[in-house]
Structure formats: structure tokens, C-alpha cells
Amino acid sequence: MRSVTVDHPRGTRVRGTKQASAVAAALASLPGFRSAQEIHAELRRQGETVGLTTVYRHLQVLSEQGVIDTIRDPSGEALYRQCGSTAHHHHLTCRECGRSVEVEGRVVEQWAERVAAEAGFTAVNHTVELFGLCPDHSAARN
């Protein structure tokens, strides 16, 4: 394994910092979708010195790189998660614990494309989120 200094458009470099790997590590270890603030709190709890600003910055970068997935909970808050598959997929997430299952959606993609074409829309992208209660948290309800 080799620590790489990545090339940027104009000869600029990206530096490998403690915080960058800390955020990545946190995402890799946390099992479900978490908010930026939760991730920040978790890192602080582990004794890492990371600013909230920095956490947001890295989450944004990782998200743009496609390394992590971003969804929005019903209140509009952004949640982040490092996913197993880099391929396009959707999520079924527990409202209580953030635990999530990756689900493929060939059917949905096709449906979206068809619908968009029929309406004459272009540059269409879709967001499909499933929220519910995972088996562990289903019991509490009646």
C-alpha cells in the first residue's frame, strides 16, 4: 500500500492529513447512515482533534468522489455512509438506528428513464430513499 499525493488540475497537491483519514476511518467503521454532527461527535469522543468544519469539508469531498453515499432524512438533514458497492444503488434505512441495507433498483432506474422520456425531460436524476424500522426496532411498535 502506498500513500499517494494526488494530482490536481493546476499542479496543486492534496495533502494527507490526520483529519482526512480520521473522517474516512469513522465512516468505514460506523455501520449505518450518520449525520455530519454525529460523525464529528464520534471522532471527538475517540479523542481525535477534528473541527466540525473539517468534517463537513471531507464529507463533501468524499461524496463528490463517490466514495460515500449521501441521503437526506425526512427532516432534510444530510446523512452519510460508506457503502460496499460503488455501483448505483439505493438504501433502506432504519429510522431508529440508521442501520441500512443496500438495495439494487434496476426496476426503478428503468421506470425513471421511461417516465422522463415520456415527459420530454432531460438531465433527469432520481432520489429514491426507503425509511422504515429494521427487525431489531420493529418489535417496539405494536
Q: What is the binding site for its own copies (CB under 8 A)?
A: 72, 74, 76-78, 92, 94-95, 101, 103, 105, 107-108, 111-112, 115-116, 119-135, 138, 141
Question: Angle at CA 44, nearest 5°, toward 70 and 85?
Answer: 30
* Nearer CB in complex with DNA: 78/112: 78
Phi, psi values for residue 129, rounded to 5°: -125, 140
Contact present, 84 and 32 (Cβ < 8 Å): no
Our CB check for DNA shows the closer of 12 and 125 to be: 12
Q: In angstroms, what is the minimal distance from the CB of 22 to its own copies?
A: 26
Q: Per rule CB under 7 A, is residue 36 in the interface with DNA?
A: yes
Report in angstroms how near the CB of residue 66 gets to its own copies at its nearest.
Answer: 16
Binding residues for DNA restricted to 56-75, rule: CB under 7 A: 56-58, 60
Q: Which residues contact 43 (CB under 8 A, 6 or more apart)?
A: 22, 23, 26, 50, 55
Nearest distance in Å: CB 97, DNA: 16
Best CA proximity match to 136, nearest among 85, 101, 107, 89: 101
CB of 14 to its own copies, least distance (A): 26
DSSP 25: H
